[in-house]
Amino acid sequence: MDGPLVYVVLPLIAFAAFFLKAVSGFGPALVVVALASLILPPQLVVAMSALLDAVAGAVLFAMDPETKGRGFWIPPAVAIVGGSIVGGILLSVVDPAIFRTLLGISILALGFWFGLLRGRGKAEVLSTGLPARASAPDVIAAGAGGIMGGFLGISGPPILWHFGKKLGKEPLRAILIPIFLAAAIARVATYAWTGVINVQVLIAFAVALPGLIAGILAGNRVFVRISEQSFSRIIGAILLLVGVRLLLP
């Protein structure tokens, strides 16, 4: 944490990352890890990102009235935590690099679908509210996302593909917020237990926190105003960036 540049740049990175999360419901780690790792040690950044994501998820959860549908989001949230544990175990026995190219191509395809095709078919009507209960496919998709997150560090694609086909922007963000909040809490607990979260991580977290708060407030204002089509294009653009990052050496 040496140098005044960190105290200026880190809140700006947090602002960009959590503006993105407030607008889309996911994606802050892509910004935080990629940019903050240029000025801070990667392990510190990963732990700080998990702390920030947990706080942001809790704030957005409290702000979003749609997230109160516990009967729907609790089973997928439990599934993503369980999947994250399974993915972490896989990481210890299988080299994830062999799946990197396939995952990158799949995410690029998902990005193109979100940005260009989502909700535009005659038979594709997006729901404006959450169902009363989660179905078995809902739980399976969240569990698959957890496994992917624990194994490859990216949990969004299966969840976005499954829920994005049937939910409009308000209910989609409402399901993404608690699911990814559960995953972030699981990561924070793991990092705390293993000693990864230390004083330096907490200092970095405190420095970034004002940017997080400002980003959430600004992003939530944009989310309320954007159209369904713009929402799809934003998520599509995020996914394309993730896919390209995975395919680059």
Q: What is the mean pLDDT of residues 11-36?
A: 86
Q: Which of 8-17, 44-53, 81-90 has the highest mean pLDDT?
A: 8-17
Q: Which of 68-82, 93-107, 157-171, 207-221 has the highest mean pLDDT?
A: 207-221
pLDDT at 54: 92
Between 62-71, 155-164, 192-201, 209-218, the lowest mean confidence (pLDDT) is in 62-71
What is the per-residue pLDDT across 161-192, written as a single tens digit (0 to 9) for each?
A: 899 888 888 888 888 888 888 888 888 888 88
Q: Which of 18-22, 36-40, 124-128 has the highest mean pLDDT?
A: 18-22
pLDDT at 56: 94
Asked whether residue 199 carries a pLDDT value surpassing 90, the answer given is yes
Mean pLDDT of the chain: 84
Asked whether residue 221 carries a pLDDT value surpassing 60, the answer given is yes
pLDDT at 3: 66
Instruction: Give one DSSP letter per residue of the chain, joined into a string.
Output: --SHHHHHHHHHHHHHHHHHHHHHS--HHHHHHHHHTTTS-HHHHHHHHHHHHHHHHHHHHHH-GGGG-HHHHHHHHHHHHHHHHHHHHHHTTS-GGGGHHHHHHHHHHHHHIIIIITT-STT---BSS--SS--HHHHHHHHHHHHHHHHHS--HHHHHHHHHTTB-HHHHHHHHHHHHHHHHHHHHHHHHHHT---HHHHHHHHHHHHHHHHHHHHHHHHHHHS-HHHHHHHHHHHHHHHHHHHH--
pLDDT at 242: 80
What is the per-residue pLDDT across 233-247, written as a single tens digit (0 to 9) for each?
A: 888 888 888 888 778
pLDDT at 182: 87
Q: Place 35 in a pLDDT band, splitting at 50, 70 and 90.
A: confident
